[in-house]
Amino acid sequence: MASSTRASATSAEAAPPPHPLVEAWHYFRQNRGAVIGLVVIIAIALVALGADLIAPHSPIAQDRGALLLPPVWDDGGTWRYPLGTDDIGRDMLSRLIHGARLSMLIGVIAVTLSLATGLTLGLVAGYVGGMVDLVIMRLMDVMLALPALLLAIVVAAILGPGLFNVMIAVAIVVLPHYARLTRASVLAELPRDYVTASRVAGAGHLRLMVLVILPNCMAPLIVQATLGFSTAILDAAALGFLGLGAQPPTPEWGTMLSSSLQFLQRAPWVVTFPGLAILITVLAFNLLGDGLRDALDPRLKR
């Protein structure tokens, strides 16, 4: 009994530590919500990729004989339009499927843009320090002082409405978060021995910044980027709802919602479904982000 415990204890000590990714996956898998979030996101991504194949109709094809048709489970609904039609006879399901593509695209581009810019600014501010740091971080502070949606509205008003401008507006809004996170991580890594060792070994500034320090700052940035997807999708939909985002007939979920507002009472499904789609997607990304934070943040590991 005693010898077997000791034997298992020594074998556990002898085993090499698992790869960090394997370890992270181990913690991640235990979080049921995070796994559900990941599955939902993969499903939405597949739908977005295969939109042309999956959608039963074109997202902009109008059927004059089927205006404001209810979903199939309501009286008068048909299997031809499972989730009903909107006010000019477009298939809701097909529009939602194509909307998934737009929302994922908004998420990917907005997160990439803000991550790339914020990361560069934060890296430079943290590594160079001094006046450069001061100027960059004060600018970020001003941007953070403006409420996110208000800043997005200002940018959208300057650039004019449209899908691509929305992505830029949303990216600018979340940029300071990445800059601050990166800078904080860089400042924490700079005094470490491995950095000094690389510097003594003759590594140049660029090599130190990008190859030596940056990889060790990635964990909080990955979490923030995942949560950034939900912010981007939510803010883009809000801008679409206010008429400052993607313009009709683009099947963006927020835009769909705002253009069918007057049918709220007569045909609640034209408002309900796009909103549900936004909620489910954003919720999935938040679940995933929370799970990643628990899995990647060593402070929370037990």
**Residue 131 interacts with other proteins (CB under 8 A)?**
no
Tell the smallest beta-carbon distance from residue 121 to other proteins (Å): 15
CA distance 113 to 120: 11
- Nearest CB to other proteins, comparing residues 45 and 146: 146
**Residue 93 interacts with other proteins (CB under 8 A)?**
no
**Residue 124 interacts with other proteins (CB under 8 A)?**
no
**Residue 59 interacts with other proteins (CB under 8 A)?**
no
Cα separations (Å) of 39 from 34, 51, 226, 280, 281?
A: 9, 18, 14, 12, 11
**Residue 237 interacts with other proteins (CB under 8 A)?**
yes
**Residue 283 interacts with other proteins (CB under 8 A)?**
yes
**Residue 110 interacts with other proteins (CB under 8 A)?**
no
**How many C-beta atoms lie closer than 10 Å to residue 291's C-beta?**
24
**Residue 254 interacts with other proteins (CB under 8 A)?**
yes
**Residue 238 interacts with other proteins (CB under 8 A)?**
yes
Q: What does the buried/exposed string (b/e) look like for 133-163 if buried means 16 or more CB atoms within 10 Å of the residue's CB?
A: beebbeebeebbeeebeebbbebbeeeebeb
CA distance 158 to 295: 40
**Residue 104 interacts with other proteins (CB under 8 A)?**
no
Binding footprint of other proteins, residue count (CB under 8 A): 42
Nearest to 223 by CA among 299, 159, 168, 158: 299
**Residue 41 interacts with other proteins (CB under 8 A)?**
no
Q: Which of 148, 217, 221, 295 binds other proteins (CB under 8 A)?
A: 148
CA distance 98 to 108: 16
Nearest to 164 by CA among 217, 123, 110: 110
Q: Which of 230, 250, 255, 259 binds other proteins (CB under 8 A)?
A: 230
Nearest to 137 by CA among 193, 186, 179: 179
CA distance 276 to 257: 11
Q: Which of 12, 22, 53, 145 binds other proteins (CB under 8 A)?
A: 145
Stretch that binds other proteins, among 64-72, 89-97, 269-277, 291-299 (CB under 8 A): 269-277
Q: Which residues have C-beta within 8 Å of that of residue 192, sequence separation ≥ 6?
A: none
**Residue 282 interacts with other proteins (CB under 8 A)?**
yes
Supply 211's token pair: 């190859």
Q: Which of 66, 68, 105, 146 binds other proteins (CB under 8 A)?
A: 146
User: Three-state SS for 1?
Assistant: coil
Stretch that binds other proteins, among 79-87, 125-133, 153-161, 176-184 (CB under 8 A): 153-161
CA distance 132 to 31: 41
- Nearest CB to other proteins, comparing residues 250 and 255: 255
Q: What are phi and psi of 34, to 5 degrees?
A: -65, -40
Stretch that binds other proteins, among 10-18, 190-198, 216-224, 235-243 (CB under 8 A): 235-243
- Nearest CB to other proteins, comparing residues 84 and 254: 254
Q: Which residues bind other proteins (CB under 8 A)?
A: 33, 138-139, 141-142, 145-150, 153-154, 157-158, 160, 230, 234, 237-238, 241-244, 254, 257-258, 261, 264-265, 268, 271-272, 274-275, 278-279, 282-283, 286-287, 290
